[in-house]
Amino acid sequence: MEDYALKAVERLTTRPAEPYDTLSVDPITPLLGAEVTGLDLSQELTPQQEKELKHAFHTHHVLVFRDQDITPEEHKRFAGVFGELHPVALAPEGSDPYILEIKATKESRAVAGNGWHADGTADAEPSLGSLLYITTIPEGGSGGDTVFANMHLAYELLSPSMRTFLDSLTAVHDGALPWTAAGQTPPPEYEVPRTEQPVVARHPETDRKLLFVNAPYTSHIPQLSRTESDALLEMLYAHIARTPLLHCRVRWQERTLVLWDNRSVQHHAVWDYFPHTREGRRIAVNGSRLQA
């Protein structure tokens, strides 16, 4: 590993002990993710619990809560701790406008999230984060993990020259791309988002730099030719997918809720459990416009 990368990792793994009085935080890896215990998410959090939880969120980016029995309303209340709820695009008539039902069965021919991505990056104000609660895991209890990648570290592991080059670029994110990639056309009632975002953005709460491009939504880098843009984006996507140091893996159990920061991480919902069933519900939280 290059010296600049070693220094970045050492800096992140030698932080002081974290002061938690109302909950316990057990890191999944030294660089990403943590399991949180000591909270009952069916109950309202105290101000101190909220403060400590947000500190853990900004530190670890992916938080896992096991053995939680929560109703949809309690799920929404907990999500509301982090901000205003984001309505589901094209929500079925009669459904809760803030809850996206997640389900894959033996009838499925594709599943949402089966590939590295971040949710809704084409929105002018990308989502702060998502909270997925799994109610049914694949038969036998194996498969269906979600893998996360640290976008702060993805940026910091690039060479200084590459970081400087990327700092000056933007990228167009197009909400129609997932539709066209599947050979479909967005329905006429869907107002397709399309936004130019910084390739390297600053986290709105922590001000840390992060890499903000992903294959499903990022169209091109307008400062470059299409050939140059495609080559650069493919290099960055490969860097994210093929650098294990960036990753943590969450193995789901029934009644598990996972909260992740949609700016700080990308995720990949691994579809390795066909023909078994996996289902749950997801709520997203509104974010804010990103700045370079």
- The yes-or-no answer on residue 119 being catalytic is yes
Q: Kindly name the residue from 61, 75, 152, 267 that is annotated as catalytic.
A: 267
Q: For residue 84, what are its two tokens?
A: 């205003």
CA-atom Rg of the chain in angstroms: 19
d(CA 291, CA 125): 11
- The yes-or-no answer on residue 11 being catalytic is no
d(CA 244, CA 248): 8
Using alpha carbons only, what angle is made at residue 202 by residues 56 and 166, rounded to the nearest 5 degrees?
130
65 by DSSP, 3-state: which? strand
Total residue count of the chain as it appears in this document = 292
Q: Kindly name the residue from 60, 117, 152, 203 that is annotated as catalytic.
A: 117
Q: Kindly name the residue from 96, 119, 174, 261 that is annotated as catalytic.
A: 119
Using alpha carbons only, what angle is made at residue 8 by residues 3 and 14, rounded to the nearest 5 degrees?
120
Catalytic center residues: 117, 119, 267, 282
